[in-house]
Amino acid sequence: MRSLRQHLFVLTILIITLTSTYVEICHARKNTHWRTKDEIESSFSTKKHKGKSNGTTHHNHSSKHHPSPKLNPPPPPPPPSGPSPYAPVTPAPPVLHGTTFNVLDYGAKGNGVTDDTKAFQDTWAAACKIAASTMVVPSNYEFLVGPISFAGPVCQPNLVFQANGTIVAPLNHKGFTSGLLQWIEFTKLRGITIQGRGIVEGRGNYWWNINSDSDDDPSVRFYGSYNVTVTGITIRNSPQFHLKFDTCQSVEVHGITISSPGDSPNTDGIHLQNSAGVTIHHSTLACAGDDCVSIQTGCSNVFIHDVSCGPGHGISIGGLGKDGTMAVVSGINVQNINMTGTQTAARIKTWQGGSGSVKNVRFSNIQVSEVETPIMIDQYYCNGQSHCANKSSAVTLSDITFQGIVGTYTVQPVYLACSDNTPCTNIHLADIELQPTDGINHLYGPFCWNAFGDIKAPIQPTITCLKNEK
């Protein structure tokens, strides 16, 4: 009987043990605390060492059940070093257009006495930063401005210089030794318009009276710029060139007036060099001191039309090839021009000893009145010097047309003096009707030398000196 009791006792203990194990397994499943072997060992090690602290022993109450500790979630990954792709993007500031900057707001006095150069510089510096902005020179003011450069290339494109007032040059050399090659310069700009009814007064009398022989004194010069427009303004009494374009592309000049007296030296109206795509039209150029338009080396695709010229020296290509230099000019079209009281109307002039070429040039529909020599090619140009050495080389001239030259002359109707060693070829004369001015007694007939080409009637006076092509 006692043995049976012992067996029942052992069986009971076994059942209790199995039941307790089953409950613990179910509890673990319910809470999804499935742990790896390493975690269990780590937990066991932690429990094992919790019983010791600073060498003090605590009683272990093993009769109480302690639930397994919850595992902490892994720490979040560190943020990326760059900006978050989901961060809001700050919008770029809007591009401003059409802002106006008045020189009076930057300290200009406009009394014709105070030097306003710095005010003009500061105004430009502000306008230059904003595309399509306008710098205003207001009307009813006279601004004394020294040598100044309105410079790029950091400027925004399509700027406007609104010239409504009068700008006058200083009566001294102050500032002209700073390396500037002109009085007012616009350089390295992309889209620049000079417009308005203002006056640019060069006060040339001061410069002419001190016998300034430098070519460094044009009133307004554009250099290295693209898409240039000059319209409406008047430029007068320049120290030398009135308006100069050097190394520019896509230029338009229209509706302007240029004037200087007869005793003004080297005062070309518009001077072109190393420039392409130039159009000059509907303007009045009274440059008694020199050419109305002067076309120099490096020019191509130039179109001049509906221009009044005179007094002055006419419209000229050259002089080219000075000091043995090379010159190239092509694609020049001059038409619908009125010439009054000029030295020539359509002229090409080259120095002896030069090289290069002039080709594809056309002068047409030119009305002349009391012009000394309307049609001229001069390959012995000497610029008024008494003696120029004879040289064998020359700039080559070909494909030159003079058509529809009509009116009166005072010295000689046609003068074609080509190089001894390099003849002019493909010279075309057509519809030439030139009469001597009444009352002129000392006249010369047409002259040709080493010039080859053809003639198409009507021709008056008769021209027999142009040779047929070889």
Q: What are 257's two structure tokens?
A: 């007036």
Indicate which residue of 313, 323, 399, 442 is catalytic. Answer: 313
Q: What are 32's two structure tokens?
A: 């999804």
d(CA 45, CA 61): 17
CB 356 within 8 A of CB 321: yes
Nearest 5 degrees, angle CA 404-CA 406-CA 407? 170
**Catalytic annotation on 271?**
no
Indicate which residue of 268, 290, 291, 378 is catalytic. Answer: 290
d(CA 196, CA 134): 12
Which CA distances in Å does 382 have to 349, 353, 385, 387, 421?
Answer: 9, 12, 6, 8, 18
d(CA 360, CA 337): 19
Question: Hey, how many other C-beta atoms are within 10 angstroms of the C-beta on 78?
Answer: 6
**Catalytic annotation on 216?**
no
Q: Which active-site residues does the annotation give?
A: 290, 313
